[in-house]
């Protein structure tokens, strides 16, 4: 995809003329704006609120940020110039866990919020949602704890992608499946999560199991 098709050389931006640092490493972005490494790092950290390692959801949310020239900023490319460590990666996973605990996995709308003491709680009794149990497959790592934790689905997405699928008759299954199979696939037991940016395996509900103690939806 050509993000910078409207490039105008007259609005090319550069820090070099105003930068007081010794300029050795010049980085040219896709929009052909050029910055020294020091200035580019400062710009990126400003755009990410100081976060050095973004999880997939944060990368998706920041994808449409703009460069100083007005064209799209290739955030994933420039992030490689930011030094980061294991602590930054752990913090990114912990932030992802909070998004999972507070947002709809399909629509990504906020359903709960973090309180001052760090707990994730309901913020409005009128906001209705359900929890979806994910299959436990990958042991006790932090990644497994995050990706395989219970996810939330808002009432609207539940009605559109799950409830209708559960209730349809077998004779209507083929017709209905074509409409929602890109999000929920009961045969493969997968659901597309727009927070983790991947398909999760969930504990499927079959027939009367939907109302049993091991139901995947609570």
Q: Which residues pair with 104 in a beta bridge?
A: 152
Judged by phi (left if over 0) then psi (alpha if -120 to 50, else beta), residue 99 lies in: alpha
Summarize pLDDT for 95-130 with one digit per residue, the tens. Answer: 999 999 999 999 999 999 988 888 899 988 889 999
| Residue 15 placed within a domain | no
103/29 same-domain check: no
Q: Out of 38-42, 109-113, 170-174, 200-204, pick the least confident.
A: 170-174
Q: Which residues of 64-78 are buried (b: 16+ CB within 10 A; e: fewer)?
A: eeebbbebbbbbeeb
| Residue 16 placed within a domain | no
Query: Residue 18 corresponds to which tokens in the numbers above?
Result: 């105003």
| Residue 10 placed within a domain | no
Which residues are CB-neighbours of 45 under 8 A, at least 6 positions away? 51, 52, 82
Q: Out of 32-36, 50-54, 164-168, 183-187, pick the least confident.
A: 164-168
37/123 same-domain check: no
Nearest partner of 91 among 117, 54, 43, judged by Cα: 54
Summarize pLDDT for 164-199 with one digit per residue, the tens. Answer: 665 554 445 555 444 456 899 888 889 999 999 999
Percent of the chain with pLDDT over 90: 34
| Residue 94 placed within a domain | yes
Judged by phi (left if over 0) then psi (alpha if -120 to 50, else beta), residue 108 lies in: left
Number of domains in the chain: 2
Picking from 60, 84, 108, the residue at the C-terminal end of a domain is: 84
Q: Which residue has the tokens 């209507």?
A: 172
| Domain ranges, residue 64 | 25-84
- The residue-averaged pLDDT of 142-164 equals 90
């Amino acid at each position: 995809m050509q993000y910078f098709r409207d490039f105008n050389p007259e609005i090319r931006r550069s820090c070099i003329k105003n930068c007081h640092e010794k300029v050795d490493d010049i980085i040219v972005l896709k929009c052909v704006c050029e910055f020294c490494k020091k200035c580019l790092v400062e710009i990126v950290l400003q755009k990410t609120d100081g976060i050095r390692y973004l999880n997939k959801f944060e990368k998706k949310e920041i994808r449409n940020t703009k460069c100083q020239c007005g064209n799209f900023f290739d955030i994933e490319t420039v992030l490689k110039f930011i030094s980061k460590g294991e602590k930054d990666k752990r913090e990114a996973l912990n932030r992802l866990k909070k998004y999972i605990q507070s947002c709809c996995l399909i629509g990504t709308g906020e359903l709960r919020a973090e309180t001052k003491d760090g707990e994730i709680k309901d913020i409005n009794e009128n906001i209705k949602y359900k929890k979806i149990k994910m299959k436990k497959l990958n042991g006790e790592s932090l990644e497994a704890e995050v990706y395989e934790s219970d996810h939330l689905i808002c009432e609207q997405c539940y009605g559109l992608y799950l409830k209708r699928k559960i209730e349809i008759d077998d004779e209507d299954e083929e017709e209905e499946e074509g409409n929602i199979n890109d999000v929920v696939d009961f045969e493969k037991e997968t659901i597309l999560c727009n927070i983790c940016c991947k398909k999760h395996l969930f504990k499927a509900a079959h027939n009367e199991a939907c109302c049993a103690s091991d139901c995947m939806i609570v």
